[in-house]
Amino acid sequence: MRYAGRTIGLFGFMIMLFVGIGYLIGGLYMGNWIMGTLVFLCIAGAINMFAYFYSDKLILKMYRAQIIEEHDNPRLYNIVKKIAMDADIPMPKVAIVPMGTPNAFATGRNKNKAVVAATQGLLAMLNDDELRGVIAHEVAHVKNRDMMVMSVAATLAGAIAFMARMVWFQMFFSRRRISPIFLVVMILAPIAAILVKMAISRKREYYADEEGARISKNPNALADALETLHDQSIKHPIKGGNPSTSSLFIVNPFAAGGFVNLFSTHPPMEERVKRLRKMAAEYSYL
């Protein structure tokens, strides 16, 4: 619940930021702050609704993921099936990504449309306990509706960024005098929105680690897997792909890019592993 409360708080801050900017822009250009807010929200919402309904197909195509059946890879398929049953969610589709770097992700707009994907490197490098931990983490994302949560966060952040771009565009074609304070807000607001979206993503990762450890009943195995994946992602970051999809993966596959933690979609690996080790020490998973 503590992660849910913090996520709600971050959403609250983003909504207040959004409404505040809508008030400024609406009052300045439209004479009505409510209309200004609604216009930008609708535009951003339309863009992200498309992503919400079709992103799973786009992601699978981007990484050449192939949907499999049980006879294609009984080991992976049956682990996903067992973990989904333990998590009390419908059996998701299972996919394999032809990639040597070990990683995994979940996509799909809801529990009934979910896909859990694992790379070939993941299947080759992890033992069964570690693989169960990784799959449980991804199933936890599905169970917690994280795809929907991040779609809402992206909508709000996108609307704020769109607002700022429109203001800068308007400035080039208008002689209206703009307050310096207003300009500072337009510069800082999109940055703040991005930081909040990243913070929400990091909270959801902590939550999925914790929930995944409970589902698999083996926090240490998940911690071991995360350490392996993190090390391999640094040594062998994926080629191609789109860094904007990094939040989907259990470990940032573009880790070698050197992003600071503040702008990272994932929490520091040391802290993730520390929390899982603490769970293993405090609770009995028999």
DSSP letters spanning 3-67: HHHHHHHHHHHHHHHHHHHHHHHIIIIIS-HHHHHHHHHHHHHHHHHHHHHHHHHHHHHHTT-EE
Q: Cα(126)–Cα(223) distance, rounded to whole angstroms?
A: 12
The per-residue pLDDT for 196 is 76
- The answer to whether the beta carbons of residues 139 and 115 sit under 8 Å apart is no
Strand pairing partners for 67? 95
The answer to whether 138 is a known catalytic residue is yes
Of 132, 267, 126, 129, the residue nearest 205 (C-alpha): 267
Instruction: Identify the DSSP state of 249.
Output: B
In the chain, which ranges are E strands? Answer: 66-68, 93-97, 104-107, 115-119
User: Residue for token digits 């998701």?
Assistant: 92
- The answer to whether the beta carbons of residues 116 and 92 sit under 8 Å apart is yes
Q: 262-268: long-range contacts (C-beta < 8 A, 24 or more apart)?
A: 262/195, 262/198, 263/194, 263/195, 263/198, 264/198, 264/202, 265/198, 265/201, 265/202, 265/205, 266/201, 266/202, 266/205, 267/202, 267/205, 267/206
The per-residue pLDDT for 135 is 98
- The answer to whether the beta carbons of residues 178 and 187 sit under 8 Å apart is no
Q: Is 1 helix (H, G, I), strand (E, B) or coil?
A: coil
* Assessment of whether the complete model's pTM goes beyond 0.75: yes
The per-residue pLDDT for 263 is 64
Tokens found for residue 196:
């909040």
The per-residue pLDDT for 286 is 47
- If you count them, how many residues does the chain have? 286
Which residue out of 130, 138, 210, 211 is catalytically annotated?
138
Q: How many CA atoms lie within 13 A of 111 on its CB side?
A: 12
Helix (H) or strand (E) holding 243: none
Q: Is 115 helix (H, G, I), strand (E, B) or coil?
A: strand
Tens of pLDDT along the chain (286 residues) come to: 455 565 566 666 666 766 676 666 666 665 666 776 677 667 666 766 776 677 778 788 889 999 999 999 999 999 999 999 999 999 999 999 999 999 999 988 788 989 999 999 999 999 999 999 999 999 999 998 887 777 666 666 767 777 677 667 666 666 666 667 667 767 777 777 777 778 888 888 999 999 999 999 999 999 999 999 999 999 988 877 777 678 889 998 885 544 445 567 889 999 999 999 999 998 765 4
